[in-house]
Chains A and B, each alone.
Chain A
């Protein structure tokens, strides 16, 4: 039976205005504004620039984006699923290390790995120099693959995005397949056929969820494709806006990009819904892993090492080496100003995003109704929306508002107010909140979910008024989740690039922006310090994530059966 403290006021709320309901709905509308604005440009008649784009580059944007999606899709599945299978159902030396080590590439933003590899693999880089030393080759004597191509971008993105597929399929393997796998073996299916015929189909909804998350990130990527000189939607939006100076056409491009994303959202929701029906019971039993021997054992170790090495260890080492080489250049006041800027933005956004998440989560708990649920869902859509699109969707209404206020003030009082919101930190923080609310909301809701409605009731039976229930039951239980949510948003903001590039105030730089700008100027070594700082910060959520995995099951070697 649902908590009635919760349901009863919901009906009353239909009769009179309710601060929770209106608060949640208003906040959600505000957060949905950028997406609504971008979508509204679908109905704006196409201008000259749009027609020009359509005749020239649109075809290329679509093709490149599709090829990128296809390539990254194959890449993340090919790395993520076998890795998940090996660490969850096989036993080999180093398995526990790989269990969380496979997540490390998540700490590496795609644009950073892209230019690190560019530096490592270019003519003057360590790899080619070493090859020339060994074989005595000279310039032009040999062929070497160029990383700054579409296949190169596919490789880079696959290396850092496979953890999405890895994480979700691993969880699915652990939760679902053991008993059914054993059943299938009693029915005469061998272990490998069992994987193909039982475990994989059962894990499919989870795998599709992981895949669609990875593909959303692919569509959202700006740094990598820009650095590699590839024409995709995100680079196209930048070019149309800043190069051709046509915000409307940029917004229309953004709308087309959004419809791609929308397909992925539908795919993800659909697979999540199906995933619910694939859960077996919740009894725990010992997990018998396949003991790998001989070449299989070696194969597992090598197979698991490759993505971690190339997706994290090598580029991180290279960044470290560059940073050490250039200490004089970066160990100066302006670097710490950058760090300060980044930390400030991240801290403000984290606090705001968690506050909003609390509003939404409690709104949903106290007033569980159709409009509130819908509002929360809309507000948390932002995780799927590329930063570029959000930036466009933020800047357009803010600029309109500024112009309107300015015009009105001039007409009334002959005072020009200029730009109040656009080009300020407020616009940037708002864009971050749109993008990362889902991150904080998921964590806060998970924390709130641990507080069952009956606990509220129990505390009240024991003599606590509602406000004290909040203080003595909710706060202590929620504290960990709130900290996690703060931290996750904090790190995501540190890593964010495209929205920051577009929306930052004039002459205001962050670590991510500086790293990207220096790298774009071919000053790779100089950018390493900023990049390394971002990567190190990115490790924090990886540690959190691996701890959650460790605690998700009672006993490390057990699984749900």
Chain B
């Protein structure tokens, strides 16, 4: 096993105020991880602990098997060979783009240094901007320079703190995919912080969903969507509704959509009230179906319509249908549940 980053049960905080609780995650060499959560959930603090800016109060952090943080001792950031891209890019305004990129490799022989700077500017698509100053660049260009600067010393791990948050929404996913390509090309392990799930999906191999200082689930994007560990993850990732249901058998739940087979949470016996996560892509429109629902809202999304449907029992579900299924509000449509996975949570009172 070549674990590059190993975070073991760390608490991080300021004084008596703990911000991150019992966080653990592991990244293989070359993998890209992501910390995803709403603002204030502790994701940036966790990232800064990995960078060495924050001491840990409990647990430890290992980089390529070497301990770099434990309670009472922190290897300073400049000794970690960890690169970081900041939310505000933090380019040095008094240096040119080339000098910014060369900042971390000052000690290299000058011919190798120049070649590396040129190689990186090429890689991020700014080969002709070496002599410019950062303030003359657009936000997206500055972001690329920040990336090139962090990559220059060939860090073992690259940390990215909301690197796309100041970009236009349309640009973010593209940039995230570009960064992924660059990291994979350089063979660098990455850990990014974001609050935007599509950014996370675009870049990461594994994602940690964080809430209130805790990692709720550390998993692939696919599993986060289809097999959320709890209702907070289900709520945060993707769209969907929770339908009230009842356990009727070992692997059977009764819902307003009918009885559905699937894994039932441990501790839920027959007769136990539960909530079932229904994603918009779990429901198909089917004119032949006996299960009828009323269209109460619709949103055109180009290729698809997102319908809000009211079931006969009164509950509403979301349904994503190809856009040639055009139904008016108030119309009754037939629908058919189509589950690959079933996410069921015990009912909360």
Contact = CB atoms under 8 A, between A and B. Distances in A.
B45 interface: yes
Contacts of A454: 86-88, 90
Nearest to A455: B90
Contacts of B86: 454, 457-458
Interface in A444-461: 450, 452, 454-455, 457-461
B245 to A, nearest CB: 41
Contact of B93 (A1, A450, A461, A465): A450
Given A457-B53, A458-B84, A477 B90 contact: no
Contacts of A242: none
A465 B55 contact: no
A464 to B, nearest CB: 6
Interface in B64-121: 76-78, 80, 82-84, 86-88, 90, 92-94, 103-104
A457 B77 contact: yes
B222 interface: no
Interface stretch (A4-12, A286-294, A508-516): A4-12
Contacts of B14: 4, 7-8, 11
A39 to B, nearest CB: 36
A188 interface: no
A458 B155 CA distance: 13
Interface residues of B, number: 31
Nearest to A475: B94
Contact of A461 (B55, B78, B88, B94): B78
Contacts of A12: 15
A460 B90 contact: no
Contacts of B150: 458, 461-462
Given A461-B84, A473-B92, A477-B93, A5 B53 contact: yes
A554 B84 CA distance: 29
Interface string A472-498: 010011000000000000000000000
B88 A463 contact: no
A473 B103 CA distance: 10
Interface residues of A, number: 23
A462 B85 CA distance: 11
Contact of B84 (A7, A450, A457, A476): A457
A452 B88 contact: yes
Given A461-B82, A463-B78, A8 B149 contact: no
A216 B51 CA distance: 49
A477 B92 contact: yes
Interface in B39-65: 44-45, 48, 51, 53-55
B153 interface: yes
Nearest to B103: A462
Contact of B77 (A1, A11, A460, A476): A460
Interface string B155-199: 100000000000000000000000000000000000000000000
A262 B319 CA distance: 66
Contacts of B88: 452, 454
The secondary-structure label for the interface of chain A is helix
Contacts of B90: 452, 454-455, 457-458
Contacts of B149: 458, 462
Contacts, number: 73
Interface in A1-31: 1, 4-5, 7-8, 11-12
A476 B48 contact: no
B51 A457 contact: yes
A288 to B, nearest CB: 25
Most buried by B among A12, A460, A461, A463: A461
Contacts of B54: 4, 8
Contacts of A457: 51, 53, 77, 84, 86, 90
A462 B48 contact: no
Contact of A1 (B44, B55, B76, B92): B44
A476 B93 CA distance: 10
Interface string B1-20: 00000000000001100000
Nearest to A554: B135
A161 B103 CA distance: 47
Nearest to B43: A1
Contact of A464 (B15, B48, B78): B78
B17 to A, nearest CB: 9
Contacts of B48: 4
Contact of B78 (A1, A8, A11, A465): A465
A169 B53 CA distance: 43
A286 to B, nearest CB: 19
Interface in B255-277: none
Contacts of A4: 14, 45, 48, 53-54
A11 B15 contact: yes
Nearest to A456: B90
B48, B54, B77, B153, most chain A CB atoms within 10 A: B77
B155 to A, nearest CB: 8
A368 B83 CA distance: 27
Contacts of A476: 94
Nearest to A12: B15
A5 B93 CA distance: 21
B135 to A, nearest CB: 9
Nearest to A5: B53
Nearest to B158: A461
Interface in B318-345: none
A404 to B, nearest CB: 43
A450 B88 CA distance: 12
Nearest to A469: B78
A475 to B, nearest CB: 10
Contacts of B51: 457, 461
A454 B87 CA distance: 9
Contacts of B80: 461
A264 B110 CA distance: 59
Contacts of B83: 461-462
Contacts of B53: 4-5, 457, 460
Contacts of A5: 53
A465 B92 contact: no
A489 to B, nearest CB: 24
A1 B19 CA distance: 12
B161 to A, nearest CB: 8
A454 B45 CA distance: 14
A4 to B, nearest CB: 6
B68 to A, nearest CB: 13
Contacts of B15: 8, 11-12
B315 to A, nearest CB: 40
A461 B92 contact: no
Nearest to A458: B90
Contacts of A450: 93
Contacts of A463: 78, 104, 153
Nearest to A461: B84
B92 A460 contact: no
A513 to B, nearest CB: 41
A70 B188 CA distance: 69
18 contacts: A1-B44, A4-B54, A8-B55, A450-B93, A452-B90, A455-B90, A457-B51, A457-B53, A457-B77, A457-B84, A458-B92, A460-B78, A461-B51, A461-B83, A461-B84, A461-B150, A463-B153, A473-B92
- Give the 5 A-B CB pairs with smallest separation, nearest first: A462-B104, A11-B15, A454-B90, A458-B90, A454-B86
Given A8-B15, A452-B88, A458-B150, 15 more contacts: A4-B45, A5-B53, A7-B14, A11-B15, A454-B86, A457-B86, A459-B103, A460-B76, A461-B150, A462-B150, A462-B152, A465-B78, A473-B92, A477-B92, A477-B93
